[in-house]
Structure 1
């Protein structure tokens, strides 16, 4: 999946997170993931792993992802990343939901 436009999913409410995704701004198409969290010391590595595996499952290899976590659970993180990617791809049928 290719990210072609900026997109946002989620809120900054307690037990949620906000995911912002933008297309790559460099020709090499690198992936950059930045995570901030109120529980970074305890769960930072786990949050990064869920975000990275979700991006990999969706086939997103280039872009900028900013995650602002307020204590969300894994399934919420995955859903927010999927929603942001779907919105950023500009293609409503870009995700193979049955495969996920």
Structure 2
């Protein structure tokens, strides 16, 4: 799946995450993470974001994530929704 525009999903509520995905002109996956639990879980959050993108066959994307303590399942769902929006796709493979 190719990222062609900006896709956004999520809120800034407690236990949620806002995910913004946009095309990455530098190629590869770049993640900018701001998290209230980054010291404890930053590596895991980045892993969930990266693995979710790779499951969707996305190899080039810039991700900005503002986490407020979201569980892995919430992170994955937000990344999926933002990715489909950023790809302009309605061919959902949940």
Which residue is 1:43 aligned to? 41
Among 22, 28, 31, the alignment partner of 1:30 is 28
TM normalised by structure 1 equals 0.88
TM normalised by structure 2 equals 0.94
| Structure 1 residue ranges (4+ consecutive) displaced by more than 3 angstroms after TM superposition | none
Q: Give the secondary-structure state (helix, strand or coil) at the position aligned to 2:47.
A: helix
Task: Report matched runs for 1:1-100 at 5 Å.
Answer: 1-26=1-26, 29-93=27-91, 95-97=92-94
Indicate if the aligned counterparts of 2:28 and 2:61 stay in contact, CA closer than 8 A: yes
Structure 2: state its 5+ residue gaps. none
Q: Which entry has the higher C-alpha Rg, 1 or 2?
A: 1
CA RMSD of aligned residues (A): 1.0
Structure 1: state its 5+ residue gaps. none
